[in-house]
């Protein structure tokens, strides 16, 4: 879409960094060598001041692949021009309003390069586990050890071959240091010992950026992974309302929620609620929302008055959100399985656990069916938009960057009273029934050996009974194994 190249958007991403716990299976494709950007070519060396880039926009709907190739070629040809002024490293900035802080009272902030955007984290819900978190995961509660720069990957990459649609967007990474799923508005006091100001941090970053180019933007994309993905659902309308109230109603605010669509389902094995891992998702949020002094979207709060914890679960809050939101969700999310007490370590998964995992995929699929813009691969993983392999995963032949491009273009066309583009899908969900039945899923590695596992090896470890499944499908076991090995 032309505007995405000519009108540089703002990308504000909320992310969760670090693993939730020790996990046996780690996602991630083998890293492929990336082509280095060409050296800058200065206009003075050529003696001219004009450049032209052939780009044919005719019959785009009928030839989308050719169009995307041309867009990528244009991006790569433009890249040397912008590379003269841009550094790949994103630089640390603290908030002007020093009253908005991390948990321990240290100043909150953001990391930017020529103004670019993002955030990451999990949570604690009482003084005991917050004290423990502060001792073991201080980077999620304090800015005292933040690095001065950060290198962007995935959707934050400045390289067009890694980030074909938003490589030259203005990006801002907001480190997660509030432990409240970006929902709190509570300052630190002697009584509570910690500040919980996640929602205010987002608001203050947006205010700071208005004097640095955001006031001239057409689009602000608030994106996040894991706790940040939930934070997007909680804050996207608040950001839109903030900008409108400050006289910037012309900035289109959109959301991108990655791996933040959790279910408030019953755990496979119930345990005492003593920490964030052992508690049910519902109980954790019920306790946290009081401790954090959380705010939730007004329309959702009105629908669940007295039970505002419901608004932390995607399928419950989504119907109340007014801003456009694109949802990215693995159907077999590792964080969800961890909260449900499914441990993918040690002995092979038992039949009851295997059935529970399959049912989780069915439940997630059902909650996503009415979401107009979404990307849901049948993979066992967690987070994707800032991973190097985010361009490799596909659903029904469409990659995530292309689906996001189609979504961006459909929103633009809708505002201009144009019909949606053809052959440009935005509602993509796998139908196959078990983890990693999609052949483009991230590579599975055994955490202890580091060795790659084939789909067959993975399913056998998961307790997959090839003989029984083949009998149910009415086929020869060897044929089923062949289909699994080929990703059919």
**Tens-place pLDDT, residues 162-176:** 999 999 899 999 999
Task: Tell me, yes or no, whether 71 lies in a domain.
Answer: no
Is 226 marked active-site?
A: yes
**Whole-angstrom Cα distance, residue 317 to residue 301?**
9
**Digit-coded pLDDT (tens) for 181-225:** 999 999 998 888 999 999 999 999 999 999 899 999 999 999 999
Task: Tell me, yes or no, whether 30 lies in a domain.
Answer: no
Residue 13 tokens, joined: 């991403």
Q: How far is CA 410 from CA 35, 237, 324, 404, 418, in A?
A: 31, 20, 11, 10, 9
**Digit-coded pLDDT (tens) for 345-373:** 555 667 788 889 889 999 999 999 999 99
pTM of the full structure: 0.79
Q: Are the CB atoms for 295 and 349 separated by under 8 Å?
A: no
Name residue, tokens 């796998």. Answer: 430
Task: Tell me, yes or no, whether 482 lies in a domain.
Answer: no
Task: Tell me, yes or no, whether 403 lies in a domain.
Answer: yes
- Check 179, 226, 381, 399 and give the catalytic one: 226
Task: Tell me, yes or no, whether 295 lies in a domain.
Answer: yes
Mean pLDDT of the chain: 79
**Digit-coded pLDDT (tens) for 68-100:** 555 455 544 444 434 334 445 668 889 999 999
Residue 402 tokens, joined: 């292309």
- Check 180, 237, 258, 333 and give the catalytic one: 333
- Note down the domain range covering 95: 90-454
Is 333 marked active-site?
A: yes
Task: Tell me, yes or no, whether 202 lies in a domain.
Answer: yes
Is the pLDDT at 117 greater than 80? The verdict is no
Task: Tell me, yes or no, whether 4 lies in a domain.
Answer: no
Is 382 marked active-site?
A: yes
- 367 burial (CB, 10 Å; 0-12 / 13-18 / 19+) is middle
- Number of compact structural domains in the chain: 1
Task: Tell me, yes or no, whether 262 lies in a domain.
Answer: yes
Q: How far is CA 311 from CA 67, 232, 314, 364, in A?
A: 40, 12, 7, 17
Q: Are the CB atoms for 340 and 360 separated by under 8 Å?
A: yes
- Check 114, 382, 405, 427 and give the catalytic one: 382
């Amino acid at each position: 879409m032309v505007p995405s190249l000519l009108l540089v958007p703002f990308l504000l991403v909320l992310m969760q960094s670090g693993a939730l716990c020790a996990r046996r299976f780690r996602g991630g494709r083998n890293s492929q060598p990336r082509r280095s950007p060409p050296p800058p070519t200065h206009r003075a060396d050529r003696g001219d001041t004009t450049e032209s880039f052939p780009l044919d926009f005719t019959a785009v709907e009928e030839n989308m692949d050719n169009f995307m190739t041309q867009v990528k070629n244009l991006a790569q040809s433009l890249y040397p021009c912008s590379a003269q002024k841009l550094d790949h490293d994103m630089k640390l900035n603290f908030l002007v309003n020093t009253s908005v802080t991390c948990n321990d009272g240290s100043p909150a902030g953001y990391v930017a390069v020529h103004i670019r955007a993002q955030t990451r984290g999990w949570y604690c819900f009482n003084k005991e586990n917050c004290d423990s978190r502060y001792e073991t995961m201080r980077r999620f509660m304090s800015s005292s050890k933040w690095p001065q720069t950060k290198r962007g990957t995935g959707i934050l990459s400045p390289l067009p071959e890694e980030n074909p649609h938003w490589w030259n967007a203005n990006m801002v990474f907001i480190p997660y240091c509030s432990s409240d799923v970006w929902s709190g508005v509570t300052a630190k006091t002697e009584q509570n010992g910690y500040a919980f100001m996640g929602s205010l941090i987002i608001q203050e970053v947006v205010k700071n950026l208005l004097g640095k180019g955001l006031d001239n933007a057409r689009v602000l994309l608030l994106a996040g992974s894991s706790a940040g993905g939930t934070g997007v659902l909680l804050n996207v309308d608040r950001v839109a309302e903030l900008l409108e109230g400050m006289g910037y109603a012309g900035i289109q605010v959109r959301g991108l929620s990655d791996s933040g669509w959790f279910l408030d389902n019953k755990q496979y094995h119930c345990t005492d609620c003593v920490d964030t891992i052992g508690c049910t998702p519902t109980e954790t949020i019920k306790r946290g929302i009081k401790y954090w002094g959380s705010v939730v979207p007004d329309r959702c709060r009105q629908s669940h008055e007295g039970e505002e914890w419901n608004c932390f679960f995607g399928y419950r809050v989504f119907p109340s959100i007014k801003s456009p939101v694109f949802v990215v969700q693995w159907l077999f999310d590792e964080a969800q399985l961890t909260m449900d007490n499914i441990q993918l370590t040690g002995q092979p998964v038992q039949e009851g656990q295997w059935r529970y995992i399959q049912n989780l995929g069915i439940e997630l699929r059902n909650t996503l069916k009415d979401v107009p813009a979404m990307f849901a691969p049948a993979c066992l993983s967690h987070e994707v938009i800032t991973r190097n392999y985010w361009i490799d995963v596909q659903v029904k032949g469409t990659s995530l960057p292309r689906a996001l491009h189609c979504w961006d273009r459909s929103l633009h066309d809708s505002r201009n009273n144009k019909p949606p583009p053809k052959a440009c899908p935005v509602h993509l969900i796998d139908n196959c029934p078990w983890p990693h039945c999609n052949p483009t899923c991230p590579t599975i590695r055994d955490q202890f050996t580091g060795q790659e596992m084939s789909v067959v090896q993975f399913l056998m470890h998961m307790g997959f009974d090839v003989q029984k499944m083949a009998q149910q499908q009415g086929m020869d076991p060897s044929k089923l194994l062949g289909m699994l090995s080929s990703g059919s």
